[in-house]
Amino acid sequence: MGAGVPDQPRGDIRPGDPRRNRPYSGTSGDVSPASEPVPATSGPTPRPDAELVLAACNGDAGAWEEIVDRHLPTVNRIARSYGLPRQDREDAVQTVWLNLNQHLPGLRHPHLLRAWLGRVTRSVCGRQRERLRRLVPVDPHRLAGGATVSDVEVEYLRKERHAELHRAIDALDPTDRRVARQYLDDSPDAVPLSHRTTANERRNLFRRLRRSLATTDRTKGVRDP
C-alpha cells in the first residue's frame, strides 16, 4: 500500500487535456480491460478504471463517484463475508475508501483497481475481525466478583467423568495404558503424542478406550451404589 511512482501511463488523458473533466464521450481509443463490467445495453461506454483514477487525482469528484458506484458493491460483498457486526463493517468499508483516496496518486496499476480494493478490504476486515476476536465480552459481575465459585453439581460431574476415564484406562492392556496416560499428560515438557505414535495406533487406542468407557457406563450402577 506504499506510495510510489506509477510505473505505467494512466489512460490516454493528460492533465492539460480539455476532455479531462468532461463526461466520457466514448470516442477514445482506450479499450476497457476484460475484467471491467461491460453494459448489456447500448449506453455510453463506461470509462476504464485507469482513466477514472487519473481524473479523480486531478480533482474530478464525478470520477470518484463513478469509482465508488462501480466498486462499492464488491467492497461491501467482501466486507460482509467477514461476518462483522454492522458498525464494524461500516467502519472497515469507510477505512478502505479513505485509504484509496490517500493512495490514489501513487497507485502503480490503476487498471487493477478492483484487485487493489479487494486486497485492502480483506486486510482491513481481517484486522477488524482479529480485534473483535480479542475483545470477548464478559459478564462484569463475574469479573468484579474475583474468583468464580463453580457449581457444586458441575464439579461433581467433572470429577466423576475424570474417574470413569481413568478406570477405563486402567482396564486397557499395559502398552495402551501407557500411551493413553502419555496422551493425557499436558505438562509443558511432555512431547506431543503424535510424535510417538502413528495415526493407526492412535485410532486403535481411541477405539479400545471408547469400548472400555462404554463397558464402564453399563456397569456403573452396579459398582457405584
Which residues are at the interface with other proteins (CB under 8 A)? 1-3, 56-57, 59, 61, 64-65, 68-69, 72-73, 75-76, 87-88, 90-95, 97-106, 124, 127-128, 130-131, 134-135, 137-138, 140, 143-144
Closer to other proteins at the Cβ: 60 or 201?
60
CB count in 10 Å sphere of residue 76: 15
Closer to other proteins at the Cβ: 87 or 187?
87
Nearest distance in Å: CB 51, other proteins: 17
Question: How many residues does this entry show for the chain?
Answer: 225
Closer to other proteins at the Cβ: 13 or 124?
124
Nearest distance in Å: CB 10, other proteins: 14
Distance, in Å, from the CA atom of 120 to the CA atom of 118, rounded to the nearest integer, reads 6
Scanning the structure block, which residue is given the C-alpha cell 474475583? Answer: 146
Nearest distance in Å: CB 225, other proteins: 45
Nearest distance in Å: CB 27, other proteins: 26
Closer to other proteins at the Cβ: 35 or 94?
94
CA-based nearest residue to 124, from 158, 67, 79: 79
Nearest distance in Å: CB 90, other proteins: 6
Closer to other proteins at the Cβ: 147 or 191?
147
